[in-house]
């Protein structure tokens, strides 16, 4: 009877995860990539996308548990079996930290700290009018695990929040839309929290960015490939957009010669919006293994048709 778990991490530390998994799953053998094991034993693989090659040749595999929330890379990884369910990681750490990051960046832009930072470099003492949050419209793209929480937090803070999703949503205090242009046209600050799919890749191009009101700001916390970077630079240089806070990039780490590094209207962050930790992620993986074995519905299953 196969009952083993294979742990195939990216940056996660197997010397912490493997014993913690073994302690949480009594009677289950837990292997790390590189251990010797019988491929027929492996029932569940807990993987980061960069390690997904290990999924080839596991005939008893019944669940692929992603260590990441975003599954864009995993879904195109060579070796991913076509017929095994994939569960995303949705943990309390990420779902707390991502809305917090979004609120921090929105407040930075709302209070014009980007403008004051530029003024400081020019030794310029100039005060600008400060609208109340209740007079500031913020758009959130994606109203899933992260976007819905972000939209709610921003609304609780008093902002006028507009959110965009594929299917209609109801969120207290948030104007929800399935029409992208309605959200873009209303967004003085736009926060991206979409998954990367064939439909959302390159979504924020010159045409879409032009729909934002003049002087709008962009916060990208999802994936670099959502945004056409050259188009963003053009819109910033033309002055149609005021500032961009970017946590994710088409190429990571951001290459040293990339114009974002020195652009006065760009804040570069090294993909730090939300972190996962063993403490918050391990219980999610363990609960899914319990459910798998009990024949109960699995948590956070990926719909391969939609790619998220
Ligand atoms: P999720 O729960 O799957 O929610 C996705 C949301 O996007 C849903 O509201 C969905 O609409 C909407 N959506 C998807 N495709 C769409 C389309 N074509 N048009 C309009 N709306 C669309 O995802 P999540 O857990 O919130 O995570 C979102 C992304 O954040 C992840 O995929 C990952 O790439 C990124 N992320 C980044 C970091 C970081 O550190 N920078 C950390 C974690 C995650 P429906 O509700 O109608 O389905």
Q: CA of 279: how far to CAs of 17, 26, 46, 282, 284, in Å?
A: 10, 18, 15, 6, 10
Task: Give the active site residues.
Answer: 223, 271
Q: Residue 63 is inside which H or E element, if any?
A: strand 63-66
Q: Residue 293 is inside which H or E element, if any?
A: helix 278-294
Q: CA of 72: how far to CAs of 86, 106, 113, 227, 306, in Å?
A: 12, 26, 33, 15, 11
Closest-CA residue to 5 (of 22, 15, 74)? 22
Q: What is the side-by-side order of every strand in the sheet holding 174-177? A: 174-177, 160-164, 137-141, 189-192, 216-220, 241-246, 266-268
What's the CA-to-centroid distance between 259 and ligand 1, angstroms? Answer: 27
48 ligand 1 Cβ < 6 A: no
Q: For residue 163, list its beta bridge partners.
A: 140, 176
pTM of this prediction exceeds 0.85:
yes
Give CA–CA dist 195/174, Å, rounded.
Answer: 20
* Mutational pocket test of ligand 1: of 49, 68, 70, 163, the residue with most ligand atoms within 8 Å of the beta carbon: 70
271 ligand 1 Cβ < 6 A: yes
221 ligand 1 Cβ < 6 A: yes
196 ligand 1 Cβ < 6 A: yes
Q: CA of 49: how far to CAs of 8, 72, 117, 172, in Å?
A: 9, 9, 38, 35
What's the CA-to-centroid distance between 193 and ligand 1, angstroms? Answer: 5
Query: 168 burial class (0-12, 13-18, 19+ CB within 10 angstroms)?
Result: exposed
What's the CA-to-centroid distance between 102 and ligand 1, angstroms? Answer: 14
* CA 40 to chain centroid: 34
- Sequential pLDDT tens for the chain (308 residues): 558 999 999 989 999 999 999 999 999 999 999 999 999 999 999 999 999 999 998 999 999 999 999 999 999 998 899 999 999 999 999 999 999 999 999 999 999 999 999 999 999 999 999 999 999 999 999 999 999 999 999 999 999 999 999 999 999 999 999 999 999 999 999 999 999 999 999 999 999 999 999 999 999 999 999 999 999 999 999 999 999 999 999 999 999 999 999 999 999 999 999 988 999 999 999 999 999 999 999 999 999 999 99
Atom of ligand 1 nearest to the CA of 195: 32
Q: Are the beta carbons of 69 and 193 closer than 8 angstroms?
A: no
146 ligand 1 Cβ < 6 A: yes
What's the CA-to-centroid distance between 142 and ligand 1, angstroms? Answer: 5
């Amino acid at each position: 009877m196969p009952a083993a778990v294979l742990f195939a991490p990216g940056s996660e530390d197997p010397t912490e995860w493997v014993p913690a998994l073994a302690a949480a799953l009594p009677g289950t053998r837990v292997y790390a990539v590189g251990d010797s094991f019988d491929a027929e034993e492996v029932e569940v693989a807990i993987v980061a996308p960069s390690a997904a090659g290990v999924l080839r040749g596991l005939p008893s595999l019944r669940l692929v548990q992603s260590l990441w929330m975003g599954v864009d890379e995993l879904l195109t990884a060579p070796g991913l079996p076509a017929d095994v369910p994939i569960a995303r990681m949705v943990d309390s750490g990420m779902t707390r930290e991502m809305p917090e990051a979004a609120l921090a960046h929105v407040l930075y832009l709302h209070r014009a700290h980007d403008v004051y930072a530029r003024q400081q470099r020019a030794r310029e003492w100039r005060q600008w009018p400060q609208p109340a949050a209740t007079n500031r419209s913020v758009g959130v793209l994606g109203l899933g695990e992260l976007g819905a929480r972000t939209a709610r937090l921003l609304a609780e803070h008093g902002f006028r929040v507009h959110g965009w999703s594929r299917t209609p949503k109801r969120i207290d205090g948030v104007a929800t839309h399935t029409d992208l242009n309605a959200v873009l046209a209303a967004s003085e600050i736009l926060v991206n929290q979409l998954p990367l799919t064939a439909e959302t890749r390159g979504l924020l191009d010159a045409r879409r960015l032009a729909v934002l009101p003049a002087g709008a700001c962009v916060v990208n916390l999802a994936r670099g490939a959502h945004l056409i970077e050259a188009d963003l630079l053009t819109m910033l240089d033309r002055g149609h957009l005021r500032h961009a806070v970017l946590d994710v990039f088409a190429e990571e780490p951001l290459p040293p010669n990339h114009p974002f590094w020195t652009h006065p209207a760009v804040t570069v962050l090294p993909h730090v919006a939300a972190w996962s930790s063993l403490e918050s992620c391990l219980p999610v993986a363990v609960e899914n293994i319990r459910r798998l074995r009990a024949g109960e519905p699995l948590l956070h299953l990926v719909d391969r048709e939609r790619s998220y």
